Structure 1
């Protein structure tokens, strides 16, 4: 447990230094929970005192970061920028932006011109699954994409199947086609906007059906792309209320 706490807190400090404050805050909180468990369990007085000192230090920093995030959110200045290197792993949707999906999210809006092929529609499905796991009040998912001229029927059928599946959970899903769409972004009605250079389709093809990464996208090598996450003071959608 001690080595786990050290590893997580060192990672938190690294993210803090890189000004990726939301990720740093999550890691500080995880590391602090382990430290608190260690404080309860250790019988060594010197170690207990050391752990308490470290916990107080990291707790103060976590509170400072929380205030900083809230302050910058209120002025529309908060932004995180990350580059995903070609061939790197550990960049599934939950890792990259799952921390922004919470009980305050009722509407996920996706703009991505390449939700066309089967595997691209599966990427949207993975995002919806993550939304259901993290956003307990999720009520609406909307998509704007382009139409595949060679697979119009298949593309529409896949999206209709997703609509039916989400409907079984009382989540509405609406999709529209645009011939001019270029930007790629995921907008959450709690104010967070996630822009990924390649959209949702930034993973390399799986090396095989029985290879690591075939199911868990954190283990799937990625294509090079950039991720820009920022907060706007208010995102209003007709279905938010």
Structure 2
């Protein structure tokens, strides 16, 4: 490994671990734990490639300290989950960026996720249907092994043909990835929540529709939702040992 590559990996480790500490202070425990784990992994790769014994010792001490914090964080998280007391809140400010579905949901997805429930009354208009499609794409990319996605939404009485045909197209497309989409409609649905069968439940004030329109189809943020401005909304995250099926 070249010195420039090694330096780049060390800088990446430092940045991720710095973010882990910031998230820890903000009580975003799950996100913090994921960052600690990623940062420790990067730092261990740096340790393996380092030849200087003095630097090796320095990295070993730092890794030990970060592993100790990560382990305590993990124990605290498990205790909160076991007692059903886990609650984390993220406030997305008006016009904020960096809140793509990947960034928001990644920390709560793992290989145990095989089933997902989406309850959102507003998966009706074209941009909302695209939002749901992007959410499905995120699930397919992993690290989960989703087999079934349940969608409960309201029927758009004004343009239900477009809504139902679009959802049917998404359903057919998902089948090529061995994922089943089950769609149900409710005239009384109001709450918005997303549940994974590993116990995580995410409630977003605006549901999946928290992104603003870009100025045009060739504006930055049109394709990459990390660069897309958001509406102000609140995200509440819970964990329950038993996820209801519907």
TM-score greater than 0.5 by the shorter chain: yes
Equivalent of 2:194 in 186, 194, 203: 186
- 8 A Cα contact 2:16 2:35, kept in partner: yes
3-state DSSP class of the match of 2:141?
Answer: helix
TM-score when scaled to structure 1?
A: 0.94
In structure 1, the partner of 2:58 is: 50
Q: Measure the CA separation in 2 of the matches of 1:29 and 1:105.
A: 19
- Deviation sequence 1:90-111 (CA, Å, 0-9, x none): 1001111122122211111100
RMSD: 1.4
Say if 2:206 is the partner of 1:202: no
- 8 A Cα contact 1:112 1:184, kept in partner: yes
Q: How does 1:95-110 map to 2 (within 5 A)?
A: 95-110=103-118
The number of residue pairs the alignment matches comes to: 238
In structure 1, the partner of 2:130 is: 122
Tell me the CA shift for residue 207 of structure 1: 2.2
Displaced runs of 4+ in structure 1, greater than 4 A? none
Say if 2:1 is the partner of 1:5: no
Equivalent of 2:145 in 134, 137, 141: 137
Say if 2:209 is the partner of 1:237: no
- Deviation sequence 1:61-81 (CA, Å, 0-9, x none): 111111111111111111110
Q: Measure the CA separation in 1 of the matches of 2:132 and 2:16.
A: 30
Q: Measure the CA separation in 1 of the matches of 2:126 and 2:77.
A: 38
Equivalent of 1:65 in 50, 73, 77: 73
Query: Which moves more between the two structures, 224-233 or 205-214?
Result: 205-214
Tell me the CA shift for residue 21 of structure 1: 0.9
In structure 1, the partner of 2:167 is: 159
Tell me the CA shift for residue 4 of structure 1: 2.1
Tell me the CA shift for residue 23 of structure 1: 0.5
3-state DSSP class of the match of 2:221?
Answer: coil
Tell me the CA shift for residue 228 of structure 1: 0.5
Equivalent of 1:146 in 146, 154, 158: 154
Unaligned runs of 5+ in 2: 1-8
- 8 A Cα contact 1:104 1:135, kept in partner: no
- 8 A Cα contact 2:109 2:144, kept in partner: no
- 8 A Cα contact 1:106 1:135, kept in partner: no
Q: Measure the CA separation in 1 of the matches of 2:180 and 2:223.
A: 26
Q: Measure the CA separation in 2 of the matches of 1:88 and 1:163.
A: 32
Query: Which moves more between the two structures, 131-140 or 30-39?
Result: 131-140
TM-score when scaled to structure 2?
A: 0.92
Q: Measure the CA separation in 2 of the matches of 1:49 and 1:213.
A: 44
- 8 A Cα contact 2:140 2:146, kept in partner: yes
In structure 1, the partner of 2:32 is: 24
- Deviation sequence 1:3-45 (CA, Å, 0-9, x none): 2222211110011111111111111111112211221222333
Q: Measure the CA separation in 1 of the matches of 2:234 and 2:31.
A: 16
